[in-house]
């Protein structure tokens, strides 16, 4: 009997050793000296792409790209807003590690923290960015490293008020501005090895659109959808005119003496209104997809498709009324449902000849080390202090590299603005393919302010039933994992 036990242990050790060796040594086909184009449509939900089975034909051009690409079905962001997420993509670090989690608190990325910009420049790449401003401005220490940067709107508009940015006309730059600038630069630099990031806030409110007529032409209302409609926490519907409607904030009262403006409950959205809000959102996605199609067509015309890796993703998604939350239910916290964290990730690599769907769990922080491997840049990840994983084993051998994915950020408030729910808070989540735990600390160091949500993702993918009280064993298991992650990453 002992003999069989010893033999079993030996086999287990060998299997573990082979698996570990495989993960270390498996490499991707190298696209030597290939260019890289990163396209990010900020605020785009995974489930609103037509190629992901959505009910509307929102993304025909992205769908065409996907047919020639690796499609990661289970890719997740590390937080719910663009500034920290963009830096996580570039650094392969969780937000609590790179520490950039506030737009107005003066924090800046440590110049010693390596990014894919630095590594590509070191390997002879020209680097350029064409972005919508705000979270991609030079002041945060990321895009200042690019050789060439153009912002829409211009960087001088950064200190436009928070409330003003939520009102019409859209202060966030869109693909209608960034794509033409990118194409102009591309034509001049196509003969040099390059990295280019093209970004737009098209799917971010306030929407620039045709009033939703593309997908909901029969709707009529006095509600002004060209302003942002948002909440800062869960809301409960109220009866208005005999119908249940959600109270939603909208920005008003912006003056020279009060540039931050104020927000009041002045709009009530019923289910028909929410349907129309989704139609406007989808219309903005389709308009953006058209511009992205123009960019991809130009890449083909210039003969660059054969030696250019194209990556398409979104920094995060959005919430359209789930649990009475709108615009992520508060821009900086309370928003870790899959509607927000589950993001599209599509990679077209000329060196990989078999486009396919990949089901394994992936994090945004895995993108940088995977891209470096695709380009044959063999910098040791330990030296770079990257926290993400090279997805080579997942792509080449369909071997899982992440059993869990994590997200988390702090919000410490702002001296410049005081709004409902804008207290110091923390939110974090851990997710497997089957289960997800979200823990929200509404006020730091104040007992009783935690909100715990446990979801059986396998059987309840819409996160509709909180099982925190009904499944204590699973709750305890995931709480232990998340607590360890929070401690390790100093969240």
213-252 pLDDT, tens per residue?
999 999 999 898 888 888 888 889 999 989 999 999 887 6
Q: Domain residue spans in the chain?
A: 423-491
Name which of 32-36, 226-230, 356-360, 482-486 the model is least confident about.
226-230
Rounded CA-CA distance 145/131 in Å is 14
Name which of 51-60, 99-108, 479-488 the model is least confident about.
99-108
- In 10 A of CB 154, how many CB atoms? 11
Residue 15: pLDDT above 60?
no
Instruction: Note the pLDDT tens digit of each residue in 18-60.
Output: 344 344 567 899 999 999 999 999 999 999 999 999 999 999 9
Residue 132 has what pLDDT? 94
CA 126 to chain centre: 25
CATH architecture, domain defined by 423-491: 2-Layer Sandwich (3.30)
Residue 266 has what pLDDT? 78
Instruction: Note the pLDDT tens digit of each residue in 424-466.
Output: 678 999 999 999 999 988 765 566 668 899 999 999 999 999 9
Residue 151: pLDDT above 90?
yes
For the chain, how far is it from start to end, CA to CA, in angstroms? 48
Rounded CA-CA distance 305/297 in Å is 10
Is the bond leading into 204 cis (omega within 30 degrees of zero)?
no
Q: What is the reported pTM?
A: 0.91
Name which of 6-15, 197-206, 365-374 the model is least confident about.
6-15
Residue 157 has what pLDDT? 47
Instruction: Note the pLDDT tens digit of each residue in 176-214.
Output: 999 999 999 999 999 999 999 999 999 998 876 678 999
């Amino acid at each position: 009997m002992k003999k069989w036990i010893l033999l079993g242990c030996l086999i287990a050790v060998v299997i573990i050793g082979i698996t570990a060796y495989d993960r270390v040594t498996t490499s991707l086909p190298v696209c030597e000296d290939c260019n890289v184009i990163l396209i990010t449509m900020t605020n785009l939900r995974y489930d609103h792409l037509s190629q992901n089975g959505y009910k509307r034909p929102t993304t025909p051009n992205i769908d065409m790209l996907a047919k020639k690409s690796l499609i990661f079905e289970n890719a997740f962001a590390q937080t719910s807003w663009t500034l920290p997420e963009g830096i996580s993509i570039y650094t392969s670090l969780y937000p609590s590690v790179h520490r950039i989690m506030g737009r107005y608190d003066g924090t800046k990325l440590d110049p010693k923290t390596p990014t894919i910009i630095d590594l590509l420049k070191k390997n002879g790449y020209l680097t350029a960015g064409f972005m919508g401003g705000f979270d991609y401005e030079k002041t945060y220490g990321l895009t200042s490293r690019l050789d060439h940067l153009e912002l829409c709107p211009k960087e001088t508009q950064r200190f436009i008020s928070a409330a003003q940015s939520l009102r019409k006309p859209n202060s966030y730059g869109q693909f209608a501005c960034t794509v033409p600038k990118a194409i102009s630069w591309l034509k001049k630099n196509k003969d040099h090895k390059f990295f280019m990031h093209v970004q737009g806030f098209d799917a971010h409110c306030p929407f620039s659109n045709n009033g939703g007529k593309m997908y909901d032409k029969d709707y009529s209302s006095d509600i002004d959808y060209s302003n942002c409609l948002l909440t800062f926490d869960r809301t409960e519907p109220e009866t208005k005119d005999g119908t249940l409607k959600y109270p939603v904030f909208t920005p008003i009262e912006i003056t020279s003496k009060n540039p931050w403006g104020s927000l009041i409950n002045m709009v009530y959205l019923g289910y028909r209104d929410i349907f129309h809000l989704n139609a406007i959102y989808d219309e903005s996605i389709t308009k953006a997809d058209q511009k992205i199609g123009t960019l991809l067509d130009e890449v083909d015309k210039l003969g660059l498709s054969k030696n250019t890796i194209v990556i398409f993703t979104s920094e995060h998604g959005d919430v359209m009324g789930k649990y009475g939350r709108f615009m992520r239910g508060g821009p900086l916290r309370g928003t870790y449902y899959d509607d927000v964290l589950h993001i599209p990730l599509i990679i077209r690599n000329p060196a990989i000849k078999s486009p396919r769907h990949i089901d394994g769990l992936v994090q945004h922080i895995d993108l940088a080390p995977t891209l470096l491997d695709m380009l044959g840049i063999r910098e040791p990840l330990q030296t770079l202090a990257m926290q993400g994983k090279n997805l080579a084993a997942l792509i080449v051998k369909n071997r899982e590299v992440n059993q869990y994915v994590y997200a988390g950020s702090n919000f410490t408030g702002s001296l410049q603005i005081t709004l409902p729910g804008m207290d110091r808070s923390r939110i974090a989540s851990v997710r497997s393919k089957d289960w997800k735990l979200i823990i929200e600390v509404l006020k730091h160091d104040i007992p009783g302010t935690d909100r715990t949500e446990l979801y059986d993702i396998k059987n309840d993918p819409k996160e509709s039933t909180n099982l925190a009280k009904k499944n204590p064993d699973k709750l305890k298991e995931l709480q232990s994992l998340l607590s360890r992650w929070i401690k390790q990453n100093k969240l």
